[in-house]
Amino acid sequence: MNSIRTRVGRVVDWLVREDMDVLAMQEIKCTEEQFPYDAFSEAGYDVVLHGLNQWNGVAFASRLPIEDVSVGFETAPGFGKPLEDGTLPKEARALGVTVSGTRLWSLYVPNGRELENAHYPYKLEWLANLATETKAWIAAHPDQPIALMGDFNIAPLDIDVWDISLFAGKTHVSQPERDAFAAFEAAGLVDALRTRGIEGYTYWDYQQLRFPRNEGMRIDFILGSKSFDDLVTAAKIHREERKGDAPSDHVPVTVDLAVDDQDDDDRPMFL
């Protein structure tokens, strides 16, 4: 997303144009008081969000009822300067909701920065704890569709970057990060797009003409439980959204679900 206030027009226009029911947003970079609610409400969407400052931030926009909102997950580690009680502050990186009986999480996984940076072990711990909780969620609710969606800041396969030789010794492709991603698959989640043969990048840096040269990365995913994946009827990476006026450096990743809802005859689509 890279700032919802900067790109609210593009986002709402895309929601309406693509007839989307639910949108998971990451890196909204604003607090609740700063979020541009009016543009969404005028288009028929309710919004819930978790934003603390000008960094990070996650949100959902939905034209279907939103239930069971969870701000963060219980074991999420903190990062930064210790608080007065000695604990580390938790960042705005995870938000869970239930829509039409489906449990959804909007996730903005820590970047990691560099392998020697303190943000790297924080990233690995954050992912490990989330994977543990995900496994427990699936075990407790085996029949409920569950999906983790958003920016994972990991390229799990070599083909997920334009030139793997340029990433030696860097984050996003290190083996510990890839192992952390694989832990979600071991917990019972599958990549809703890859399993359907859909390949392509989801992120292109603004620098050095990365997009015109197609020097991108695949770091945005929809990972769903078996009960979620069974509902998927279509999936897409919206590459064209990287073009135009003031685009985000990420593009939407969507799936179409065969979910019956008394308030909507269409199949909800999730990002």
DSSP 38-100: HHHHHTT-EEEEE--SSS--EEEEESS--EEEEES-TT----SS--TTSPPPPPS-EEEEEET
Residue pLDDT, tens place only, 203-212: 999 999 999 9
State mean pLDDT over 152-178. Answer: 98
The mean pLDDT of the chain is 95
pLDDT band at residue 53, thresholds of 50, 70 and 90?
Answer: confident
State mean pLDDT over 65-81. Answer: 97
User: Is 0.75 topped by the overall pTM?
Assistant: yes
Give the rounded percent of residues in the chain with a pLDDT score beyond 90. 93
Residue pLDDT, tens place only, 123-162: 999 999 999 999 999 999 999 999 999 999 999 999 999 9
pLDDT at 54: 84
Residue 215 has pLDDT above 60, yes or no: yes
State mean pLDDT over 264-270. Answer: 54
Strand order in the sheet with 58-62: 22-26, 58-62, 46-50
pLDDT band at residue 1, thresholds of 50, 70 and 90?
Answer: low
Q: Are 152 and 220 in contact (CB under 8 A)?
A: yes
> Going from the N-terminus, what domains does the chain have, and what CATH number goes with each?
4-270 (3.60.10.10)
Residue 71 has pLDDT above 60, yes or no: yes
State mean pLDDT over 220-239. Answer: 97
pLDDT band at residue 2, thresholds of 50, 70 and 90?
Answer: confident
Residue 250 has pLDDT above 60, yes or no: yes
pLDDT at 55: 87
Q: How far is CA 55 from CA 4, 9, 35, in A?
A: 11, 20, 13
How many C-beta atoms lie closer than 10 Å to residue 256's C-beta? 18
Strand order in the sheet with 146-151: 67-71, 94-99, 102-108, 146-151, 220-224, 190-191
Residue pLDDT, tens place only, 76-95: 999 999 999 999 999 999 99
